[in-house]
Amino acid sequence: MNHARAIAALLALGTALLAGLPARAEIPCSGAPSGKTLGPARIIEVETQGGGVYGTLQYARSLDLAEKEILFTFDDGPDPVVTPQILDTLDRHCLKATFFFTGLRAERYPELVREAWRRGHTIATHTYSHPNNLRRFAPSYARAQITRGQEAIAAALQGAEDTKEAELAPFFRFPGLNDSARLKAWLAAQDIAVFSCDFGSDDWRRISAWSVYKRTMRNAAYMGRGIVILHDTKTRTASALPMILDELARRGFKAAHMRAKKPPDTLAGLPEKAVTAP
């Protein structure tokens, strides 16, 4: 099975190369106006075996971020207007982020899920239709919301020839950050990590883009590092993001980016020849 999958992956890579497609995550950085960029991001591989919960807004620990490292996350998309703008802004800073998409929107806009993946971002999940507080529902309904979201987003992600091998990250964020002990245990049993945040941007509130910018900068300065939540469904966020990234870069912040750590046996099935092939 491992051999077959490895050969399929190599064939897919060969097809992509023949077609002249850029490899994932090798899109050139188009440059920030100031000449300073937040990326390329330091990659943090997150071990999800046994779950894990991250983000000091709610939990005891966060990811192991260095001083002045910010990890960007975007919730609730994709959105046909906002997500493309956000993707372009991130590219200008060579910045990779994590998108906690919802299943319903992934079904509506599957190409945007794939486009985020093609540009090197991490694709994670945030339920199917975003009920704001899963605690209020029967456990079976809450679990179905999470699973259906994963299935819809995976289907969107893998729905094109060049993304067939793309993988969802085993990362989940609760809508409204409303977790429950029971659901966290259920996710942990599936080796899915739960992400809260270290600080927010208030971009879900009815405030101006300028206020989103000011509040994000204030929180970043106060915390000094952390996982930040933004929303790729809000035009105020699309407007504020270039200012946020430019100013963070000017102040010496750098970006971090998270991916799921692969199990150690992932490469074990690769045939010797494939590993050493040019």
Binding residues (CB under 5 A) for Zn ion: these are 75-76, 175
Specify the DSSP element, H or E, that contains 87.
helix 82-92
Extract the tokens encoding 206: 């009815």
Least CB distance from residue 174 to Zn ion, whole Å? 8
Which single residue is written with the structure tokens 């910010």? 70
Least CB distance from residue 150 to Zn ion, whole Å? 15
E-state strands within the chain: 42-46, 53-54, 69-75, 98-101, 122-125, 171-172, 193-195, 226-231, 254-260
What is the Cα–Cα distance from 193 to 47, expressed in whole angstroms?
Answer: 8
Query: Nearest to Zn ion by Cβ — which residue?
Result: 75
- Complex with Zn ion: residue 103 or 175, whichever CB lies closer: 175
Least CB distance from residue 147 to Zn ion, whole Å? 17
- Complex with Zn ion: residue 6 or 71, whichever CB lies closer: 71
What is the Cα–Cα distance from 192 to 184, expressed in whole angstroms?
Answer: 9
Least CB distance from residue 218 to Zn ion, whole Å? 22
- Complex with Zn ion: residue 75 or 232, whichever CB lies closer: 75
Least CB distance from residue 268 to Zn ion, whole Å? 38
- Complex with Zn ion: residue 197 or 255, whichever CB lies closer: 197
- Complex with Zn ion: residue 93 or 173, whichever CB lies closer: 173
Compute the C-alpha angle 60/62/67, nearest 5°.
Answer: 125
Asked if 152 and 175 count as a contact pair (C-beta separation under 8 A), the reply is: no
What is the Cα–Cα distance from 171 to 55, expressed in whole angstroms?
Answer: 13
Least CB distance from residue 66 to Zn ion, whole Å? 27
Q: Is 214 helix (H, G, I), strand (E, B) or coil?
A: helix
- Complex with Zn ion: residue 197 or 260, whichever CB lies closer: 197
